[in-house]
Amino acid sequence: MARGGKPEATECEACTGTPLNPAAEPTGTVEQALANAGQLLQRSADLAAEQVLEILKVAPREARAHLLLGLAQGALGQGEAAVAALRRATQLDPGLGDAWRALADHLMAMGDTAAAEAAQARHLQCSTRDPRLLRPALALAENRIAEAEALLRAHLKALPTDVPAIRMLAEVAARLGRYADAEALLRRCLELAPAFRPARQNLAAVLYRHDRPAEALLEIEQLLADEPRNPSHRTLKAAVLGRVGEYGQAIDLYRAVLAEYPNQHKVWMSAGHAFKTAGRLEEGVEAYRRSIALAPGLGEAWWSLANLKTVKFSPDDVETMRRQLARPDLAHEDRFHLHFALGKALEDAGAYAASFDHYAEGNRLRRAMIAYSAEDNAAHVQRSRELFTREFFAARAGQGAPAPDPIFIVGLPRSGSTLLEQILASHSQVEGTMELPDLVALARELGGRRRAGEPARYPQVLATLGPDALRALGERYLERTRIQRKSAAPFFIDKLPNNFAHLGLIHLILPNARIIDARRHPLACCFSGFKQHFARGQNFSYSLEDLGRYYRDYVELMAHFDTVLPGRVHRVHYEDMVEHTEPEVRRLLAYCGLPFEAQCLEFHRNLRAVRTASSEQVRQPIFREGLEQWRHFEAWLAPLQDALGPVLKAYPRVPEF
């Protein structure tokens, strides 16, 4: 019997001297026909697909025929048909490892990460030949991560160079978010077996998730050299290109993938993100709408439309979102995204009480998913104040990397930082990049991994670093960010607001960098953050109390640096920039050592890519409407006001701490 359950002696046109492959020897069995089709696939996907379809007429339950059909259709750019064929192959023969691997690649290209990881785990299970690895492979396939880790560690203690086991342990580490461990394990795999392609594919994904896109791109290029049509490699490359600002190339890749998967809502959404960031608003809106038409419950697509800030939802849109929220089977992530989107729709309609209810529920759902401690943040501020004294900085004067290239814009999200970035990036000597993760990554490395209850080592660890180490850290930052620089401009902007928490590190390793503090009225800034669902990195923003405490900590820390490093930071109040634009722009440029250029006042004409929530707002002239929008919601902001305390009463001055 053949693997699909049909007798091997079955004859068909493809088995008896088929005209579809004249070069093949005449054969009389399905087994031989499959072998012929497999050989033909290497030369002509079209002819291979035709031959396999002939085989399936007489052997419709032959799993390997469905696998070959899926491979041929994938090579022909028929992605969705390929997925159907590969799913059928795995249904008929769950032990067909090659089918699971090909299916995982397609699912990853389609944006279905969870299903792709499950298929990859089944591939691992099927391809494991060592009986000692069957139990951990099964545990991984069934997402029993702790059990898989224990079994694999025991196995590797006895066999430390077992490459498949090392790769499986790397998969465990990646699922737990321990990307440094995953990277080390995968590099060990490739050291032992340089041609082990699955390990390289995993390494590229880990580097991307760990905010190291330049290194991820190198691995992806190696993968594509071997498998240029692999859909998973191409979509990962598109995502990485977007991360490094190559939006044109990313869009081209997304278009190619959509030609193969025209009905995949997550691919349309990813393409929409790329269009939006590149300033191609109409195409972005169309892509998000296509995504929603395919999957009306996809909350992130609805929120992406709302997040453009320029799209007004129709009554039909609002009704559709409400119907989706009423579904008991709606995923948690879709639910909170829809609440944020409905909050925006109802705010635009002037229904402020109902709008606030949706914002509050979206934040409540999101807050339940994250671990954030306002006490930990306050403790970091206190440790920073204790370490960074006038004497500490004076003893290290002149150390660090001397390059003046970076201009850091810090503060809170929704403080007007994107506006400042757009103004500066309109200057001929300044390049805008994006909110770069590199400084935070350096700070995390310095802090190292901590066990539960162990005291934090950062920023105190900075006291142990000598001149060479500080200079090396500054040079590492410059090297890591080089991939983001596309022009010959001598200065570039790093606009990650949260870098205010690392201002001491910036001064030590990059003493000639400029630092600009973007500050906005605390109620306007914090409530704007409360209305915003951030993709990542702003865990303090999903509670009014957390927001108020975070803003207060920020003001306290910046006041400390004003005392110990007077004049080091240039502060811009958003309200002053709106009311007195030209004088404030001139002050800003003077601080940066730049001559005045009139195009900085015409910043909205700058066609550069903008990745933040204010992308469409900074493509318009300055407008005053944003100054007072929070007042529509003042009746519900008492928890925020209480948490802000004296910082609110003193604004724009700073209270004594």
Q: Model confidence over 35-70: pLDDT tens digits?
A: 999 999 999 999 999 999 999 999 999 999 999 999
As given in the structure block, the two tokens for residue 627 are 């100054």
Label the pairing between strands 491-494 and 514-519. unpaired
- Residue closest to 367 by CA, chosen among 621, 540, 508, 144: 540
What pLDDT, on the 0 to 100 scale, is given for residue 469?
A: 98
Tokens of 495: 């606009």
Q: What tokens were used for 615?
A: 């992308």
The reported pLDDT for the residue numbered 18 is 36
Spell out the domains of the chain, with CATH numbers in brackets. Answer: 1-111 (1.25.40.10), 264-367 (1.25.40.10), 401-448+458-650 (3.40.50.300)
User: What's the confidence (pLDDT) of residue 609?
Assistant: 54
Helices (runs of H) and strands (runs of E) counted in the chain: 32, 5
Maximum distance among all alpha carbons in the chain?
92
Question: In 3-state terms, what secondary structure has residue 236?
Answer: helix
- The segments of the chain whose pLDDT lies below 50 read 1-27, 611, 613-616, 618-619
* pLDDT the model gives residue 536: 83
Q: Provide the pLDDT for residue 129.
A: 76
* Predicted pLDDT of residue 177: 85
Output the pLDDT for position 386: 97
- Helix-strand-coil percent breakdown of the chain, rounded to 5? 65, 5, 30
- Please tell me the predicted confidence (pLDDT) of residue 537: 82
Which amino acid belongs to residue 54? E
DSSP 430: E
**C-beta atoms surrounding 168 within 10 Å:** 26
Q: Please list, in sequence order, all residues whose beta carbon lies within 8 angstroms of the beta carbon of residue 250, skipping any fewer than 6 positions away.
A: 238, 239, 241, 242, 274
What is the phi/psi pair of residue 250, to 5°?
Answer: -60, -45
Using CA atoms, how far apart are residues 87 and 70, in angstroms rounded to an integer? 9
Buried b (16+ CB within 10 A) or exposed e, 88-108: bbbebbeebbbbbbbbbbbbb
CA distance 96 to 90: 6
Distance CA 341, CA 324 (A): 12
Phi, psi of 574 (to 5 degrees): -55, -40
Neighbours of 180 (CB within 10 A): 13
> Which residue reads 């085989």 in tokens?
55
Q: What is the structure's pLDDT at 452?
A: 64
> Look-up: residue for tokens 């501020």?
381
Integer Cα distance of 236 and 204 in angstroms: 8
Q: Strands, E, within 412-453: which ranges? A: 430-434
Res 8: pLDDT: 37
